[in-house]
Structures are given as C-alpha cells and as structure tokens.
Amino acid sequence: MSISAIDESVAQAGIGGPSLGDAEFTFLREFVLQQCGISLGEHKRQLVQGRLLRRLRALRLKDFASYCQILRDDPESELGELASAISTNVTSFFREMHHYDFLIETQLPLWLQQKRNGGRLRIWSAGCSTGEEPYALAMVLAEALEQQGSSVDAKILATDLSPQALEAARKGVYSIDKLGGVTPERRRRWFLRGEGSYDGLACVHPRLRELVTIQPLNLLHDWPMQGPFDAIFCRNVVIYFDKPTKQRLFARYASMLSPDGYLFLGHSESMYGLSDDFDLVGRTIYRKRDK
C-alpha cells in the first residue's frame, strides 16, 4: 500500500460516537506498528478515532473495545481495512517523471537488448495504491517493446495492502481530471474514453492490463513471489516506517532484485544510513551493489 501522511486535515473535534480510550489506543498503536510499520504518536488519537468510527459503523460495533477484539481474534480479516482507514493514498500518473525518463532513456532499451534471447523482465510496484503507478509503468514498457519489436517476457507486479485501493486498480477506470500527468498522445493510445453514463471517465487499454498483475500484499509479512525483479518501485511508502522496519525492508528488496537491479523511492525518502546494499545513482534511484 502507498502509505503517505496521515491526513491532518480530518476534523479532530466534534466527532460523534464512542471515544477511543487509553487502552484501546495503546493497543491500536502497537498493532499498527507491528503489522504495518507505522508509528502513531499520541497526537494522532483524535484523528484515528475519527477515521475508525466509520469502521465501527460499518461493522455495527458499539465501541472501540469491540473493534480491538476483532483485531486480536482475526487480525488478517481486518488489517487491510484498518490500514485503509488510517492512511491516505496519494498517487498520480507519471508522478516523479524523472524515474520514468530513466527507464525510457536508459534501462528499458538496455534490458530488452540483454533479454532478447528468451530472458524475462520483471518490475514490481510495491504499494501500487489505486493503480496509476503500475499502469504508467505499463505504458512505457509497452512502448519500449513496440519500438524494439521485442518479444521479451515482460510483466509488472502491482501489490498493495488496501482492499479499496486494489479494487480501484483492478477496475482501471479513472476520471479524466486524474489524467493530468498523461500526455495527449498517451491518452489517445492507452485509454478508452467513456460515453453516455460513463462520460468523464477513462478506462485503461487492455494491453496495459495484460502487462500488470495486481495482488494483495503486506510488505511486512511473507512474500509469496520469488523474483528476481529488475526494478522495484516503492515510492512514498516507507517514509512513515520506523528505522528498523526500513532496514529490514531494504534488505529484503535487495534479496529480490537481480544483480544491478534498481530500487526507486519517493522524493522525500532516503536510504542514507539504512542500507549498504545499494548505491545512489540518481534522484531517489538506487542500484543494487555488486558484492
């Protein structure tokens, strides 16, 4: 899941419903830290209360103690909904365009040349949110494949923890005003514009769906895929993880990357002092170190 800043703009006063007590908030803080790697300070109490009241109403629960009991009894059943409730997914098509430029101008032509005789090309969008990132990656990948007339086995894995984000990504339908980062040429090439009751909406081209596999995944739990990946995009995800969680995650990413594979982080994220497995080669672009 692309976990960005907990939304400070949520009203923190005058919220109706049960209050979040000390014991319940302490449990939730420990649970979220353990399961999601997010540290919630005391100043987040009212915000968490406001966000989770929606879940209490949806589940028809009378208080936060009942909600905490659900998490104790069956944490996996509610983890995705909890993460969605307390986090804000902020994403867009071709966000941080210099990452895509690096792929287009440097790496994709090189990889496709290297893998032309039966190789595999794999990219992972870790924290894909509502799908804009993996579909943008699919656009530049499809264009590179066409330009080189390549038949390389190329795929993009897109994962997230949020059920709502994954549902939106699988639908691949976006309002026209969400396509601001997409050039007119790419809009015509890679989107099907809605008509009638679907006016104002655009659906991603079937070719992009062919390239993207969307799956639920908690980055802090076991990973079923084996890799290796040529590139991992994990942007605006780790910024609110604590230091030990970041260190473990970067080490796991290194183990999943091909030799000289690349890790792309968000503009506010850094690997400084957290890993010896990578070299910084561009703006928040890291290459796996050859050891």
Residues marked active site are found at 51, 160
Amino acid type, 96: E
What does the radius of gyration of the chain's CA atoms come to, in whole angstroms?
A: 20
Show the CA angle centred on residue 59, arms to residues 58 and 65, nearest 5°. Answer: 120
Which of these, 86, 85, 73, 69, lies nearest to 24 by C-alpha position? 69
Residue whose tokens read 């983890």? 79
Q: Taking the CA atoms of 98, 99, 104 and 106 in sequence, report the sign of the dihedral they define.
A: positive
CA max distance for the chain: 64
Nearest to 2 by CA among 30, 36, 34: 36
Instruction: Give 29-61 as a DSSP string.
Output: HHHHHHHH-B---GGGHHHHHHHHHHHHHHHT-
- CA-to-CA separations, 121 to 83, 114, 152, 259, in angstroms, rounded: 31, 10, 7, 13
- 153: nearest Cα among 139, 143, 168, 141: 141
Q: What are phi and psi of 152, to 5 degrees?
A: -60, 140
Residue listed under structure tokens 């260190």: 247
d(CA 142, CA 205): 11
In angstroms, the CA 215 to CA 170 distance is: 9
**AA identity, residue 138:** A
Place of tokens 């803080």: 29
